[in-house]
Structure 1
Amino acid sequence: MRRICFLLRVRPDRLAEYRERHRDVWPDMRRALRETGWGNYTLFLADDGLLVGYLETPDWDAAQAGMRDREVNARWQAEMAEYFTALDGRDPDEAMSPLTEVFHLD
């Protein structure tokens, strides 16, 4: 199982709204994440807008590709894009770049 951690930045003026949107993630979006291998998927949000994402998956490339093929993901990403900074025209899921794991205590 591969552990993936990534960083994004939420616009400071949209933090409360971003938190609210994630209190009720669409059931079909939750299902798509599970079905495409996004296990133990967790988001952490700092008060300054730093978003830390974590997930476990057997195959990161397949997990990303699986979500790219889901219509629900296209809708979700389109709605979420306005909350982030520095996406340079990419969807939030395209801007996720895994950090390098340097230590893990099993």
Structure 2
Amino acid sequence: MRVALHSEIRENAVDSYRERHVRIPHDLVAAFGRLGIHEWTIWRSGRRLFHLVDCDDWDAAAAGLRDEPADQAWQRDIGRFVELFRDADGNEGTAPLELIWDLAAQRDGRP
């Protein structure tokens, strides 16, 4: 499955956030693999970040990350630069954004 997430960087933290993502910790990469996260990309527009995650099951992966020491350490570090996550309605939360349209699905005749 593919999900999109939206977060916002704290004021004046773009450079630090970018530097931390040159290479994320190897133990976090390994945890992603164990939890079925195959790809994660992040784009930025101003202080807004848009994450695209390819995974087996987002809810299961997110639940697994909560108990994962590598992610807990990463969140303590990167969390200094992240203002918050927003859900599809713009409220604070890490629920995936709503998918509006998918070209591949249209081409394949999927809803």
Q: Which one-letter code corresponds to 1:31 in the other structure? A: A
Displacement of 1:97 in angstroms is 2.1
User: 35-44 or 13-22: which moved more?
Assistant: 35-44
Identity of aligned residues (%): 28
Find the residue that maps to 2:13 and give its secondary structure. Answer: helix
| TM-score, normalised with respect to structure 2 | 0.80
Q: TM-score, normalised by structure 1?
A: 0.83
Letter in 2 for 1:37: G
Q: Report if the CA contact (8 A) 2:3-2:53 is conserved.
A: yes
Larger Rg: 2
1:59 aligns with 2:57: yes
Higher relative strand content: 2
Give me the CA root mean square deviation: 1.7
- Which residue identity is paired with 2:74? W
SS in 1 for 2:17: helix
| 1:58 CA displacement | 2.2
Corresponding residue for residue 3 of structure 1: 2
For structure 2, the 5+ residue unaligned runs are 86-91, 105-111
Query: Deviation at 1:12?
Result: 3.1
Distance in 2 (CA, whole Å) between partners of 1:95 and 1:32 is 22
Aligned partners of 2:9 and 2:84 also within 8 Å: no
